[in-house]
Structure 1
Amino acid sequence: MPNGTRVASVEEVPEVGSYLFTVGDRHSTDREVILVTCDETPGVRAWINTCPHEFQRLDRGDGAAMRDGEVICPKHGSMFDACSGECDNGQAAGTTLPRVEIAVSDGAVYLVDEGYTYRHEGGVDDDGPGSTSHLSF
């Protein structure tokens, strides 16, 4: 068993779509992470749930859109390889999804990235104001 926190079983990660969970970073800021299937060993990858082109959630709570082994940004349609995180098309071309280190053992996925602490299954609780600023100048 890896040194880390169990996140989910491999069976809980959909073949098309994503499994969403929340971590805390070194500054205690909550961040969303998605688990997606990948054709390369160990069969699952973890990425920060944000398009690097423009702050946009890839999984808005009902699974990330995917096609042919790529995660699709819902805003601009850029596609990220599920295994490498790299994008070679659309407005996000040349960017890579930020990776979160995981390990797979005995059919379970473990968070082993020392930069993050597992918080809970699902996304960040968005009870506060949205991304629209309420400031006036």
Structure 2
Amino acid sequence: MATGTRVASLDDVPERGSYLFTAADRHATDREVILVRCDEEPGVRAWINTCPHEFQRLDRGRGAAMRDGEIICPKHGSMFDACSGECDNGEAAGTTLPAVEVAVEDGEVFLADDDYTFRHEGGIDDGGGPSSTSHLSF
């Protein structure tokens, strides 16, 4: 049996795009987290919903832009591998998305990271999440 709080059904995580939820870190600060599909086991990965280059949201409430297994930063177009979180191009080259551990069992995704506590599905309600300005269109 998977330990941790159920976050979503695996079916809730789109093949292209992301599933957004909010979790509190060990300092009780709410953080937006995205679930994205990954070709490696367990089939999804979870990342803090910000580009490490600038404090920009990857998923602004409509799903993160993705192409060929990579998450695209909407501000500069840097692309992060959905499985490793690593970026090797653009303004964010050499950075890695901060990971949040999840587990999948019987088609359900569980928050398995002891550093985070599940709050709710969706983004941070108070508007205190990272900003996002973009000149890119997809």
Counterparts of 1:1-137 in structure 2 under 5 Å? 1-127=1-127
Deviations 1:8-54 (A, max 9, x none): 00000000000000000111100000000001111100000000000
Unpaired segments ≥5 residues, structure 2: 132-138
Unpaired segments ≥5 residues, structure 1: 132-137
TM-score (norm 2): 0.92
The one-letter amino acid paired with 1:107 is G
Residues 28, 92 of structure 1: alpha-carbon distance in 2 compared, 3 angstrom cutoff: same
Amino-acid identity (%): 80
Deviations 1:47-70 (A, max 9, x none): 000000000000000000000000
Question: Paired residues, what number?
Answer: 131
Q: What is the alpha-carbon distance in structure 2 between the residues aligned to residue 126 and residue 81 of structure 1?
A: 29
Which aligned segments of 4 or more residues in structure 1 are displaced greater than 2 angstroms? none
Over aligned residue pairs, what C-alpha RMSD do you find?
Answer: 1.5
Deviation at 1:125, TM superposition (A): 1.1
Which structure: larger Rg?
1
TM-score (norm 1): 0.92
Secondary structure of 2:11's aligned partner: helix
Residues 84, 127 of structure 1: alpha-carbon distance in 2 compared, 3 angstrom cutoff: closer
